[in-house]
Structure 1
């Protein structure tokens, strides 16, 4: 069984509770942490990439099943989900509603108690989580419902709290059970027009599990009514503010011993992240070399087709990296495969362009000499042109490799692992040490790869060409 979670602390904690509850019933489940936002988790569930994940009723009606009214009854919700092959547990016991929050001192000074009061202060700086900025129940609808005159910008939810505390912004979106509300002494503004629906926490799961893994479903259903809002805030606080591992917090909640649920040995984690990162960057680079070098050769042989190839690979390079990763999910699901596919596409341009540049930059006199010797075109390519263009080709491969190492950190957003995993966890938990556990090795790996390619370039380039290049 595979349980997914979104990229915020509460979702991770709830998924860990479900994993341990399933283990108590003899079902081993794996937790794929912080896979991204609502749409990614929903698609993964429908496509059987995961078997269950924690969700909220308001999100289901406002984002996933928009044909249902916000106040749709639970029976209607269950019936509609069943049509997609998805089951739903009864509510876990708390309503984690969206809210808008401000620093208590500022709200008191400006006499702001409700969201409607914001209208009188059009110069306030608002920052909302990126998902909230585009959700049907997020900023666009909120702005229209309250006729708010100010603009807002998107920001990672965890970072928004620090921005609010530092005074960089004046108001942010909150989750009702966030531990930071009390920690930063925030005022939660009244939703005086009743804009936000209820967000009762539930678990969504694949309906076929009722037949395949009834004990797993029983474990999920057994969590219904077990967590109230006060308890959930305490669980979030233990992770976010006290720095306890999610697994340990989940085990304590269930009254279980938690041997081996700590964050794990640093060395073993680093080895695992390094191997995952090398897999992402290495496989994508090898695939790109196999495809891009022939494309570069083709671009030199057929001019018009070459312009198209260079233009297409250039366009791929302009697609935002995170968007490209997400675009791959419908084709490959979640995990390493979509990340490798995205990195492969990003690797094409530098290799194709440098192969093309290396081949077109060869002295025509050398090509004429090769032709005069009677070498056929294929032999000229392998014996003369590619060796002469090797330095340029290797430079393109080196650029692609270094880009891949950096961009591969985004793979953690779709469950691919690698150095991005501690970086994203560190951002979520506001833990600089965790961020450095991913950022520093990624930078060192990029430098090591660059140095290795320079050595490889010197080793593979014929001595005569090296002397010529130096002169």
Structure 2
């Protein structure tokens, strides 16, 4: 049998090839305009509309859809990871510049300019927050105004996760109205409508242009203390974009005042309720209002599946290879140096306790959005199983075998290479296999920060309440996990010494 070191060299070469291979598909000379959008349907539609207008002017675009919430998009814009994205005045004043007294459009423009950001608009509609209830519940309790919630402290509220922490969200709403409710939970905005319909929650935050308000026949509760500001839609872009592509600003100016609230509700309904792709919804609207003829080829199901598969494999492969190279030496050190080993095991154990979504977010300030932070988070999650199994495999080698190898006059390095690592190889591979399977599942969260993979259809399916889309991501992820499991069974037959495998079979 070849030594264990030879195989780690092979893994290093393969991992390097994956890591350094081009993945984005764009060269520097292409310079596509990078558009971002948030994780809700309206933002995706506006992002597609921006892409159509820019492409009509002759420039290339790449739309990074559903990039989580405001902070992710704003941070990406400041760092130059995206060039442009749609935003709302209320969000800018109450979230991005919270506490800085930025309220009017002029003040917003000035504050943005100081950050190197410009804006185009308004686009023509106000998508403010409203609080919604099922009409029969509101009628039964006689609730017409938000202030009347004070009479019913036992009401169950379910607010979007971002709303729970925003400067204009639940904390300030609670303080403004002196609301006594304690059963307040953070939920995905798109799942909140189901909660209202089923009676699991009594009230939730809505966007004024949500198509679901009419679909579910929801009652919107009057904001009688005028807590929520106006959320007029604008387009934010980096100043250097107008230098690189000056024609884009004038092209995008065509969208000013073009979209009414009724228009936006209709487009949201087409995308979310009628299941029409956002790109086509945006294209149809621009064709009708601006006679803009844009042709964007939509991916086939096979093309989309292949893209998600390659993205997912990229995330899993790079993070796993990196973890192998770091974890096996750490496991060896932990086994050889008992005191330091406990520190190593404790450190990787603590990392494993950090929620995966939180770890992804922690990586964004350091690595931005896209694949790098997702790979880093997956790398950290892969450490514990491999380190612990390497430690255990070496620690559990029978003492008489270690003594025999030492009696043969083998050096410490030779004993490790020829005796100890081969003896521990089955346990080490079990740790690698565990990490790989965990990575396949956890990598789906990478879609929240623009890393793609099987998480993208899952995320879109949740947003559009489309079980078919969710399964397009969930089933391949489960299938890939099974393939990984089977693949490592084959690798075990190749790498583990035959005697150890026979011993396993005999037991």
* TM-score (normalised: structure 2): 0.91
Pair 1:68 & 2:103 matched: no
Pair 1:309 & 2:306 matched: no
The number of residue pairs the alignment matches comes to 469
Is the 2:51–2:61 Cα contact (8 Å) retained in structure 1?
yes
Equivalent runs, 1:156-175 vs 2, <5 Å: 156-175=188-207
Q: 1:292 is matched with which residue?
A: 327
Displacement after TM superposition at 1:218 (Å):
2.1
Equivalent runs, 1:173-212 vs 2, <5 Å: 173-212=205-244
Q: 1:392 is matched with which residue?
A: 427
Deviations along 1:87-145, one digit per CA (max 9) or x if unpaired, are 11121111110110001121112111111111112221110000000111000110111
Q: 2:396 is matched with which residue?
A: 361
SS in 2 for 1:173: strand
Q: Distance in 1 between matches of 2:123 and 2:100?
A: 21
Equivalent runs, 1:13-412 vs 2, <5 Å: 13-69=45-101, 72-151=103-182, 152-255=184-287, 256-257=292-293, 259-262=295-298, 264-412=299-447
SS in 2 for 1:131: coil
Q: Distance in 2 between matches of 1:88 and 1:271?
A: 36
Q: Distance in 1 between matches of 2:123 and 2:170?
A: 27
Is the 2:35–2:84 Cα contact (8 Å) retained in structure 1?
yes
Q: Distance in 1 between matches of 2:34 and 2:351?
A: 33
Distance 1:123 1:261, change over 3 A: farther
Q: 2:26 is matched with which residue?
A: none
Q: 1:456 is matched with which residue?
A: 491
Displacement after TM superposition at 1:344 (Å):
0.4
Q: 2:41 is matched with which residue?
A: 9
Displacement after TM superposition at 1:30 (Å):
1.1
Displacement after TM superposition at 1:150 (Å):
0.8
Is the 2:316–2:375 Cα contact (8 Å) retained in structure 1?
yes
Q: Distance in 2 between matches of 1:450 and 1:247?
A: 38
Is the 1:343–1:404 Cα contact (8 Å) retained in structure 2?
yes
More off after superposition, 78-87 vs 417-426: 78-87
Q: 2:500 is matched with which residue?
A: 465
Pairwise CA RMSD: 1.1
Is the 2:56–2:294 Cα contact (8 Å) retained in structure 1?
no
Deviations along 1:45-94, one digit per CA (max 9) or x if unpaired, are 00000000011111111111124326x22111111111111111121111
SS in 2 for 1:100: strand
- Of residues 435, 460, 475, the one that matches 1:425 is 460
Deviations along 1:217-261, one digit per CA (max 9) or x if unpaired, are 223322111111110101101101111000000000100445445
Q: Distance in 1 between matches of 2:167 and 2:297?
A: 37
Displacement after TM superposition at 1:416 (Å):
0.4
Is the 2:316–2:440 Cα contact (8 Å) retained in structure 1?
yes
More off after superposition, 373-382 vs 19-28: 19-28
Is the 1:248–1:261 Cα contact (8 Å) retained in structure 2?
no
* TM-score (normalised: structure 1): 0.98
Q: Distance in 2 between matches of 1:357 and 1:435?
A: 39
Is the 2:52–2:294 Cα contact (8 Å) retained in structure 1?
no
Q: Distance in 1 between matches of 2:293 and 2:422?
A: 63
Q: Distance in 1 between matches of 2:101 and 2:196?
A: 33
Displacement after TM superposition at 1:332 (Å):
1.2
More off after superposition, 457-466 vs 201-210: 457-466
Alignment gaps of 5+ in structure 1: none
Q: Distance in 2 between matches of 1:304 and 1:224?
A: 66
Alignment gaps of 5+ in structure 2: 1-32
Q: Distance in 1 between matches of 2:262 and 2:443?
A: 38
